Amino acid sequence: MVFKVGECMKKKLNITLIILLIFSLLTINISAVPIGAKVEDLFDSTLATDHSYSGLTLTLTAGESVAFGDVVYMNWTDKEVKKADADASTTVPAIGIALETKADGQACLVLIFGYIRDDSWTFTASMVYLSDGTAGGILSAAPSDAGDQVQRLGFAFHANKMFFNPSFDVGEI
């Protein structure tokens, strides 16, 4: 039996293979983790100082000015990260949080999974969502306006600390 794969399916397959390759490279760094290890065994959740983090990071090119704590998405056309915004379906899904203040075109360290602290945050212990009011922002409540994109980014466990574990499933109101 012979199956013909359309161009759309080939692109999806290529993207899936690239994602699997990236994650297989990331797992090399933690392959010695004992069975039954918890996230707390791998990363430090205490985060004693403002603008601290502990987790998996990537260095990506900023496609606009970003600051520590800005939530970013990958603009695949430009191959750069830009501020994510729940107001537009073209600026989601968020893939990370900027860990440095950088200008357009500069390399920027981005948290893709782990703990982060920013003393300007005022969370209640809850799920954390991409903001619909401020590009790159974070909210303790899901956006609710028609056309908004809803994406869970993780959860807050302190007023100024969160565990970033973004869902790549995005729904529209």
- How confident is the model over 40-80, as pLDDT tens digits? 667 888 999 999 999 999 999 999 999 999 999 999 999 99
Can you tell me whether residue 110 is helix, strand or coil?
strand
Evaluate the CA torsion angle 157, 161, 163, 167 in order and state its sign. Answer: positive
pTM: 0.76
- How many CB atoms sit inside 10 A of residue 27's CB? 10
Cis-peptide into 93, omega within 30 deg:
yes
pLDDT tier, 20 (very low <50, low <70, confident <90, very high otherwise): very low
Q: What is the reported pLDDT for 21?
A: 44
CB 143 within 8 A of CB 120: no
Answer for the pair 116, 47: CB distance below 8 angstroms, yes or no: yes
